[in-house]
Structure 1
Amino acid sequence: MTDLKPKTAPGAATGPDVKHMKWWGWGVEGVAFHHEDKPNFAPFVKKMVGVDLWADAVTGAPSFDDLDIPASHLTEPVASALATIVGEGNVVSGDLERVVHTYGKSIRDLFRIRGGVFPRVPDVVVYPATESEVAKIVAAAVEHDLVLIPFGGGSNIAGSLEPMAQEQRTVVSLDMGRLDRVLDIDEDAGLARIQAGAQGPDIEEQLNAKGWTLGHFPDSFTHSTLGGWVATRSSGMQSDKFGDIADITRGLRVVRPEGVVVLRPLPSTSTGPSLREMILGSEGRLGIITEVTAQVHRIPEKREILAYFFPTWEAGLRAMQAIAESDATPSVTRVSNSFETEMSLATSKESKGISALLNQGVQKFMQLKGWDLSKICLSFIGYEGSSEHVDRNEKLVSKIVKKHGGFGVGKGPGVLYDQKKFDTPYLRDFFMDHGGAADVSETAAPWSKLLPLYNEVYAAAGRAFEKIGVQGLLMAHLSHSYHSGACLYFTFAFEHGDDALGQYDVVKKAIQDAFIQEGGTLSHHHGVGLEHAPWLADDVSAAGAGLVQTLFDATDSQRIFNPGKVTGH
């Protein structure tokens, strides 16, 4: 076994060669957001939330040596049993490894990490390499009364990873990072068998080498896993074409004490209730997902993302709805409100990016059309397929955009968006360094309810900002479109005081309450975890929440699998 007790210094070798994000923030060491080459960004932040980015950073990377990490409860009999299964080098209980596996990457998680708040830390991290090893670990958990928390890339922001504070049993973080291969591709069916611990870039690299793509690109793509996507019902940026992970997932293998649940990748079936639907979004409470058979697609001949501007948010929403109802089949339909559009312009480098367009006559064209430049909304729409298909769809969408008062500005901004689409979380960490708090909440609702929901969220957030005495910023975009409705994704930010999480809770609750009040869901693609569990009964009814709890109680009476998540119990 590796390092049962001593504190492990950051950067030291800990266990097998599995990729993890830095322990105190998002992403990899040495990569961070910088504003010095973006002349409009600091003025935007100062205007919107009152934070002076040119002042010295308030905080930064904390010192790991300053943290007080609770001691591991791992006993020698349990350690030996686990080492017998996976090998001594794949059982790790050093402090660094345990901290990495304690939380996800939500704003609540990062404030607690930076503040050294660790009510409960996993006692040991175990790295299985095969489904057989996972099954033996589950059997050991039954025998020794252990808690198993599956861990993918650690990107979760809904509190799905942390041990329950009151847990007295030995907590095992089951890191799936060694199960990272594409096992097989059925080229006739377009189905790929993929191990659950494979991260997004690894999946695409292996599939692309054979001419295929999964087409699933969530914001967390570079640091999240297929098993994690399934466990939280993830959505990707190109879901308009490829579907959400619930659509992509065709078959599953899930390890439970009584054996492996095997769901074959059938195109359709009337067998019910649907075990597949039960496992999707179950956040590890029904067992350990080891393998997913996913729908894959040939790499398209042509792929483009074009940028458009709309005169108002309302015009952009109506256009997205019209596109969803039309014969057009884009891969991405996204429109930002005026505040998010302004931030997008502010994050461009001088004379480059989207802001350069406004310096090249576009702004004058808007003014000639009578647009209020404070209300303009930027949109990105993507197209994939044969050249003929892409060209046809671009023409169909162009007509719809024009009908709703918008116009296109070409490929340039879309190329930049494509290059930077996974970098946004770094900006959140940067804002934290300067005394700010920023987070996201997203929902989905029918088209008929989107605008009233949007307006109520703004009203509720405004009241919350006033209550905690801050100048807050709320931004929004529509991302994933469906025939009956769409996802609205909100980002909120403010300069926090001494009680950062207390202030955060006021704003977060106001936004979540508004979602439910106006007919939206508690989350579109970030899962439930502990963060959203208070709204579960409002979302699916009290009887529905009770049914979910009954399912968990009946299938895991020993409470081995990630207890507390989804229902809070």
Structure 2
Amino acid sequence: MTDVKHMKWWGWGVEGVGFHHEDKPGFAPFVVDAVGIDVWREPVPPIDFSEVAVPPSQAGAELIDALTLIVGPEYATVDDLERVVHTYGKSIRDLIRLRAAILPRIPDVVVYPADESAVQRIVDLAVATNSVIIPFGGGSNIVGSLEPLPTETRPVISLDMGRLSRVLEIDEYSGLATIQAGVLGPDMEEQLNARGWTMGHFPDSFTYSTLGGWIATRSSGMQSDKYGDIAEITKGIRVVQPGKLLVVRPIPSSATGPSVREAILGSEGRLGVITEAVVQVHRVPEKREVIGYLFRDWDSALAAMHDINKSDAAPSITRVSDARETAFSFSTSKASHGISGQVQKALFAFLKRRGWNLDEVCLSFIGYEGSSANVAHQKSVVGDVLKKHGAINLGKGPGTLYDQKKFDTPYLRDFLLDRGAAADVSETSAPWSKLKPLYDNVFAAANKAYDEIGMKGWIMCHLSHSMHAGACLYFTFAFTHDGVDPIAQYDVVKSAIQQAFIDSGATLSHHHSVGLEHSQWEVADISEAGADLVQGMFTAVDPGENLNPGKILPTR
């Protein structure tokens, strides 16, 4: 094993870290009501890795020897655990298959190049030997972008970028940083922060995802309202392609025909291996605050988010949960004692006297960053908007808790899987005028799907990533599966939600990308002509389909 960090093979994060509910008195009754499972039941742990029947490597000795010559004997491996770790991402489909040892096709060899030259030699070798290359960053992908096609008969090479993990240079005058693509989020920010800078990009997967993965999937972060998503942040890119190196220079703006930079963004390894990027960076802000607010209902919350976006305010975070997700958030809170518990009870009693239905309240977090003067100004502008919509300011306490827990939610999927329930997410974006009907349509589709599979289910939503023309709606859904074929049941629910996106004029994904999971909706999203254009790029760069075949568009 190398010193490159990976998540545990069967779930999210590292061994010994997980979700615990014993100190959260509201969680057990919430889960019983939502999906009908008793969280106190004895969990069924994943099988021991020694019981997993791992398919043997199909890579010949000649290919392995050639790869070893490029990267060194420590960094080319056919180890069973390494190959399984590099087979899937971390979607619920992936986790179910891993726990059931469903491994129809796994990488035959894992390689860890040390530099761009080694990546070039590996890609050229793969093409020369008619092998498949699948780039691997942190392994957090949830749309099937990492797995080999089950019908693949050629040798499969997982190209782990974890050794390319340095911030190479900061152009402080321009606010640009040159960074290797394999760096994990925390390691990148640590290197930038040490010199007083930040990229400001914090997706849910931040702890276990990489810069190259963000670019390859068009990622968005929790603070994209201020810093932009990865497509706005990324200015220059270096991409290894068969026999050549694609270089997009970090020009602020240009009119040089169709954007090559945009073509690489979201390409999921099908147009080459991203080795390096030049990205926008900002000075670490003098002050940062996340304030909690409470809205009377979802309609008033949506209207407030719209009006904040159209105002002179420029917050870093605009997030609001619907009533169902708000109830979930409250259920994961630790027991309140002393003054804080009394204040919460008094607030809810006050709102009830004012005629609020406490089952409809919506929790929001608004973030502010910058100088002290600017933060004060932003809070004032947003405060005026929220006052018009009747929001209640909850202060910094909830925002502090949000910051502490913001990367922990994925652990909950493992917890529920251990107890016979499946939970996953689907996110989309649509114009402001379509958000409410989109929301209603998705809920109707999901509940119809739960009826179809005959299982108790739950769906909840939050708005995030406000933009000029619209916003992202992020849905979390869960259901008790029958233990016989949970993937088939999941497909019914997931397909219903995704189809509701398309039918409601929304996109198939705002920031999780396409992979295999969403590819069946790609043509409906971008049109037949759009799919032909994308396929034309894939064919021009990779006529032999050696670069992560089958992702985004099926092989043709």
Structure 2 distance, partners of 1:129, 1:239, is 31
Q: Which amino acid aligns with 1:462?
A: N
Q: Following superposition of structure 1 onto structure 2, how do residues 211-250 of structure 1 map, counting pairs within 5 Å?
A: 211-250=196-235
Task: Tell me the secondary structure at the aligned position of residue 541 of structure 1.
Answer: helix
Structure-2 residue corresponding to 1:411: 396
Whether 1:370 and 2:355 are equivalent positions in the alignment is: yes
Alpha-carbon distance between aligned partners in 1 of 2:119 and 2:91, rounded to the nearest angstrom: 28
Question: Which residue of the partner structure matches residue 102 of structure 1?
Answer: 87
Aligned twin of 1:344: 329
1:48 Cα shift?
1.1
Q: 1:83 to 1:450 in 2, by over 3 A?
A: same
Question: Is residue 55 of structure 1 aligned with residue 41 of structure 2?
Answer: yes
Which of 527, 538, 541 is equivalent to 1:541?
527
Matching residue's letter, 1:464? A
Q: Structure 2 length normalisation: TM-score?
A: 0.98
Structure 1 counterpart of 2:466: 481
SS at 2:148 equivalent: coil
**Matches for 1:283-302 after TM superposition, within 5 Å:** 283-302=268-287
CA contact (8 A) 1:333 1:480 kept: yes
Q: What are the within-5 Å matches in structure 2 for residues 286-325 of structure 1?
A: 286-325=271-310
Alignment CA distance shift 1:242-1:356 (3 Å) = farther
Distance 1:80 1:459, change over 3 A: same
For residues 169-568 of structure 1, the aligned pairs below 5 Å read: 169-351=154-336, 356=341, 359-497=344-482, 498-568=484-554
SS at match of 1:308: strand
Match 2:15 to one of 18, 29, 34: 29
Deviation at 1:102, TM superposition (A): 0.2
Q: How does 1:89-128 map to 2 (within 5 A)?
A: 89-128=74-113
Paired residue secondary structure (2:465): strand
What is the alpha-carbon distance in structure 2 between the residues aligned to residue 235 and residue 475 of structure 1? 20
Q: Which range is displaced more, 450-459 or 399-408?
A: 399-408
Equivalent residue for 2:120? 135
Where does 1:13-24 land on structure 2 (aligned, <5 Å)?
14=1, 16-24=2-10
The Cα of 1:358 is off from its aligned counterpart by: 6.2
CA 1:546 to 1:65, structure 2 compared with 1: closer, same or farther past 3 Å? same
For 2:410 and 2:339, locate their aligned partners in 1 and report how far apart those are by CA, in whole Å: 20
Q: Is the 8 A contact 1:285 1:552 kept in 2?
A: yes
Contact 1:348/1:354 (<8 A) preserved: no
- Aligned CA RMSD, in angstroms, stands at 1.2
Deviates further, 391-400 or 226-235: 391-400
CA distance change for structure 1 residues 354 and 446 in 2, over 3 Å: closer, same or farther?
farther
Distance 1:330 1:382 in 2: 6
Find the residue that maps to 1:60 and give its secondary structure: coil
Secondary structure, aligned partner of 1:328 = coil
Q: Spell out, residue by residue over 1:360-380, the C-alpha distance to the aligned partner (whole angstroms, 9 max, x if none).
A: 421022113210000000000
Pair 1:434–1:537, CA change in 2 (3 A): same
1:322 is aligned with what amino acid? Answer: D
1:142 Cα deviation from its structure 2 partner: 1.9
Question: Which whole-Å CA distance do the structure 1 matches of 2:307 and 2:499 have between them?
Answer: 29
Asked whether the 8 Å contact 1:22–1:28 carries over to 2, the reply is yes
- Mapped partners of 2:428, 2:297: distance in 1: 21
Verify: 1:147 aligned to 2:147, yes or no: no
Pair 1:451–1:546, CA change in 2 (3 A): same
Deviation, 1:138, is 1.2
Contact 1:398 1:407 in 2 (8 A): no
Q: TM-score, normalised by structure 1?
A: 0.96
1:530, CA displacement in angstroms? 0.1
- Total equivalences in the alignment: 554
CA deviations 1:43-81 (Å, max 9, x no partner) are: 000011111111111x21321111111100111111111
- In structure 2, what is the Cα distance between the partners aligned to 1:437 and 1:508? 11
Q: 1:369 and 1:290 mapped to 2: Cα distance?
A: 57
Could you tell me how far 1:551 is from its partner in structure 2? Answer: 1.5
> Residue type of the partner of 2:249?
R
For the residues of structure 1 that align with 2:335 and 2:520, how far apart are their CA atoms? 44
Alpha-carbon spacing, 1:145–1:351, altered in 2? closer, same or farther (3 Å): same
**Would you say the 8 A contact 1:195–1:290 is kept in 2?**
yes
Q: Relative to structure 1, is the Cα distance of residues 102 and 109 closer, same or farther in structure 2, using a 3 angstrom cutoff?
A: same
TM-aligned CA deviation for residue 353 of structure 1 = 12
Secondary structure of the corresponding residue to residue 65 of structure 1? helix
Amino acid at match of 2:359: S
Unaligned runs of 5+ in 2: none
Distance 1:354 1:307, change over 3 A: farther
CA distance in 1, matches of 2:337, 2:508: 38
Q: Which amino acid aligns with 2:532?
A: G
Whole-Å Cα distance in 2 between the matches of residues 138 and 492 of structure 1? 39
| TM-fit CA distance, 1:163 | 0.3
The residue type paired with residue 40 of structure 2 is W
35, 39, 51: which is aligned to 2:25? Answer: 39
